[in-house]
Structure 1
């Protein structure tokens, strides 16, 4: 019953999280595009205090959009705000983290081969990391370093890479990636809650009171919004990375994440420039070449050969390894408490089922992704033996 409830909570919060994330990312991308696409308005609009405008066509109609230098002459009766997309994405993401990695800590969060942690110890480290990481970002942002964009970006990127490396030493490979994503998502939501929304409320207050808005509020809010824009593609990669153990299961998984994060953020820069009619296609070419180089570097190594004294295991011995390390989860009726059904629909109770799934089993064994959390204590020699038997 517990596994059944676990599956439904996982499904609900993951579904809700994706829906909210699509709404938030869509709005974020749209407003970055809008702001960068504004052009100098005609003179009669400048006289009205309009800083930039653009025309667009969509859904069978024309749209005229204008951005004021400070604020409109009179506050409109209806003003649309954009905040709940961000808040809902973070709340559902934290709920999913709690269900998947805190409730299921022994399966998904803890890797006893790295650090033997208790459930509450692992949860405490996770929460401390998220809170501490966010505090570091806020300290950097509120320091004079924000006036030096390149240095700020280099320091922030270095801090995230260091965090990825440190997490890789503590948690399971999959959980390490997820926590980097959770930190980035927390920074992004925090940018909305603690920076963008207060700046917008101050802008509305000043315009309503007939005062000239202070520019530094808007400037810092725009900087936070720009950071969120560059964070988005790396974050989306982390959200889908759990389907690709070749990335987080790599022996240098933290470095793979660092490279993919840099490549995707760099590619995003091309589009931000393009919105300003500054076409730099070399950026996409460089990003593609870097990705190809990463793919080449990540080519899986051949399985380590067995010691000369070891004989090739028989089919019966190989099946015994599968039964000992895999079948508790991958069975028609899993005996593992965390699963109500076999993960991925893969059943491994008969040798014919094992050989039919060999193409999926071998990478999972090679990367250490399976057994999940290596709770069964599968040795490297046993991995090599089973890989050899499946070839």
Structure 2
């Protein structure tokens, strides 16, 4: 059986006040083209179809376009689960009726108790779809306490009526322990309680995961994240976005192929002085990319964003390297720091900004100014 596995579309995403809906449409058209070429028996969307629980109309319209093309025109069914960004109840509206047309939306723990069974020339394949859930939801569902996400996941999988005579595919939206994360993913919890052990997915011939945005596998190649539709943070500038094609053989073995997703406009970081970046832009054929510029100038600059935007119309963020936190320095307000004088604090600030200490003349001038301020405050 041939499967196309994708996830983390985040339709409706706003990135630095810029709507990505046209970029997302461009990426989804590539998936539709791949469906036409490779002719899978099913498309899996492993959560986070939308970027927020109440998506904008443009995002709903884009998902509707994809469903119409995939199911209506190409006759390929879709199995989709809700992720932590989706509003599960809204996404699952009319799910019982929609499944008869080929759109299987699994958004509740009740629904996951029964597999979605599809057949190929070798027999049946059972798809077990586990929507995003937290330990409290699983505790309510099972009637037993759940200490963390891993225990909750184990509790759900243990009670699935899996028929080992069939090939079984798992679909889940979770955070595997030890996998690589990105800045654009919303933390599920703090302190590591959101981590799930990859070993609980070993019984399945393929596990289609969502939540982490970098394409990767953990433990074994068949336990895999397809990655996000687009680059959703500058930390992902070096990611190669893709979706996954899986061919499952009659014995449950699989062949995995990554199908690349070409970004309509790439997302990247450029670094250098303002003059260096302006000069380099003249020969930059990809000047319409989404840009984060990191300036290395030490002196004050006049309207650097405006100057860069003349050459990079989609520049989204400007940073100055000298203001970035230095590794190993601790500026926490400890009790010892609170005892320091105004002159000491200003001297530290000046050194951090200008990378040099106050001169003797500057120190005397500052002392005189601070003394005048203190005298004025005491007399008022």
Q: Same fold (TM over 0.5)?
A: no
TM class, shorter-length = under 0.3
Larger strand share, 1 or 2: 2
Q: Which has the higher contact order (CA 8 A, sep 6+)?
A: 1
- TM-score, with structure 2 as normaliser: 0.22
Larger helix share, 1 or 2: 1
- TM-score, with structure 1 as normaliser: 0.22
